[in-house]
Amino acid sequence: MHKARETLHEFMHAQIADRKVEARSGAPPRNDVFSILVRANEEDGGKYPLDDTELVSRFPFNRSCMR
């Protein structure tokens, strides 16, 4: 179970990095909740940005993997 959780977190962090690049490049936004959250976090002007671990923790699958 630990390896599965680790693999999932690595995948999610890679997805965050990809979406940050897209947001910064001005590419058309993807139409999914995860992309919207990352883009909003990038475009908020830095008021209270979430770090990558906080972004990953916003999704329900993360809680079930942590048990």
> Is 8 exposed, middle or buried (CB count within 10 Å of its CB: 0-12, 13-18, 19+)?
middle
Q: What is the mean pLDDT of residues 43-67?
A: 71
Percent share of the chain, pLDDT over 90? 16
Question: Where does the pLDDT of residue 67 fall: very low under 50, low under 70, confident under 90, or very high at 90 and above?
Answer: very low
State residue 44's pLDDT score: 63
Q: Is the pLDDT of residue 26 over 90?
A: no
Contact 22, 30 (CB under 8 A): yes
| pTM of the predicted model as reported, rounded to 2 decimal places | 0.75
Percent share of the chain, pLDDT over 70? 84
